[in-house]
Amino acid sequence: MNAAKNTFSIKSIFLDFKEITKAGLAISVLFSSIAGYLLGVNEEHPFKWSVLVILAIGGYCMVGASNAFNQVIEKDIDSLMDRTKNRPVPSGRMSPVTALIVASLLTIIGIALLYTINAKSAMFAAISIFLYTSVYTPLKTVTSLSVFVGAFPGAIPFMLGWVAATGEFGIEAGTLFLIQFFWQFPHFWSIGWFLYDDYAKAGIFMLPTGNKDRKTALQVILYTIWLIIASLLPVLGYTGQLFISPIAAVLVFLLGLWMLFYAVRLYQLRTSKAARTLMLVSVSYISLLQIVFIVDKFLR
């Protein structure tokens, strides 16, 4: 009985840790950092497994810390929404103090690990955590501009990988940042659309107009177009060592048209189902784009 209880307890702690760090989201964000690292390595900055492992662990800690801090700050708000009320803190399975300790330890460990790669990586990680927890999170119940603010820390991971590989922040890292920055808007507005009623219970309105209307859907289309343009910049030869071939550019453009189709679909239908579909497509889009960039680099 005691062995079974201990096993259950360890399993519960592990599951709560996964939930408070939002493991699924953290891993998907981590993929962006790894993609950026692979794009950044070259003869001058060769690939190192040790750096990749440290980037992976440090990056997970960075995202996990942001999510944990977020859940401490929003514990009362989370208790009002169906999708968040069973999280560890609002459900009472984990105390706010424990969650705060977990978040603080993850911050220290994450920044310290990334500092062993280079100081710039640690600095951008610290900026990301600060913006997410101290600016984006409090703004969520104040203004829909919180999505704009949140797009900054959300766009750092792709860029962070390049900085980890090269130790430099230039046009290349800036371009990777720009791609993921514009991607944030159609992605999070689609989430804000199909979860509109749940967010409304907590007084959170993520949509730019505050409503599920044509103006919001039009902005989704416009930012998707900006995303496509930003994604194609590397083929023009003006983004330093970050370059994609014409063939890769065609694939990236087709991916962009795929996402734009569902953005237009949302404008036409303005339904929660259309918004959910766009969200799923956006997740696939950013991962496939990064894979195209990586494969193109190593096949050229």
Shared domain check, 146 and 79: yes
At residue 2, the pLDDT reads 44
For residue 235, pLDDT beyond 80? yes
Q: 187 and 103 in one domain?
A: no
What's the CATH number where 53 sits? 1.10.357.140
How large is the average pLDDT for residues 243-262? 97
pLDDT digits (tens, 9 = 90+) for 168-179: 999 999 999 999
- Regarding whether 142 and 23 lie in a shared domain, the answer is yes
Shared-domain flag, residues 175 and 163: no
| Residues 51 and 164 sit within 8 Å (Cβ to Cβ) | yes
DSSP string over 64-97: HHHHHHHHHHTHHHHTTSTTTTTSHHHHTSS-HH
Q: Let me know whether 149 and 198 are in one domain.
A: no
Q: Does 52 share its domain with 79?
A: yes
Q: For residue 114, give the nearest of 164, 176, 45 by alpha carbon.
A: 164
CA of 170: how far to CAs of 19, 36, 66, 166, 167, in Å?
A: 35, 13, 25, 10, 10
Tell whether 211 and 254 lie within a shared domain: yes
pTM above 0.75, yes or no: yes
Domain match, 101 and 214 both = no
What is the rounded average pLDDT of the residues 58-67? Answer: 95
User: Is 4 part of any domain?
Assistant: no
Q: Looking at residue 13, what is its pLDDT?
A: 83
Residue 57 lies in a domain: yes
Structural domain of residue 176, as residue ranges? 170-299
Last residue of a domain, one of 122, 148, 167: 167
Q: Are residues 175 and 137 in the same domain?
A: no
- Separation in Å, CA 124 to CA 35, 42, 128, 131: 17, 22, 6, 10
Domain endpoint, select from 167, 183, 199: 167
| 144 belongs to a structural domain | yes
| Pair of tokens at residue 65 | 């810390």
Q: Is residue 253 domain-resident?
A: yes
Average pLDDT estimate for 174-196: 97
Q: Does residue 148 have a pLDDT over 50?
A: yes
The confidence score (pLDDT) of residue 5 equals 46
Could you give the number of structural domains in the chain?
Answer: 2
Q: Is residue 8 part of a domain?
A: no
Q: Report if residue 3 sits inside a domain.
A: no
290 within domain boundaries: yes
- 184 and 261 housed in the same domain: yes
Say if 269 falls within a structural domain.
yes
- What is the model's pLDDT at position 9? 74
- Co-location of 110 and 190 in the same domain: no
- The per-residue pLDDT of the chain, averaged, comes to 93
Query: Do residues 163 and 181 share a domain?
Result: no
167, 193, 224 - which closes a domain: 167
Residue 4 has pLDDT above 50, yes or no: no
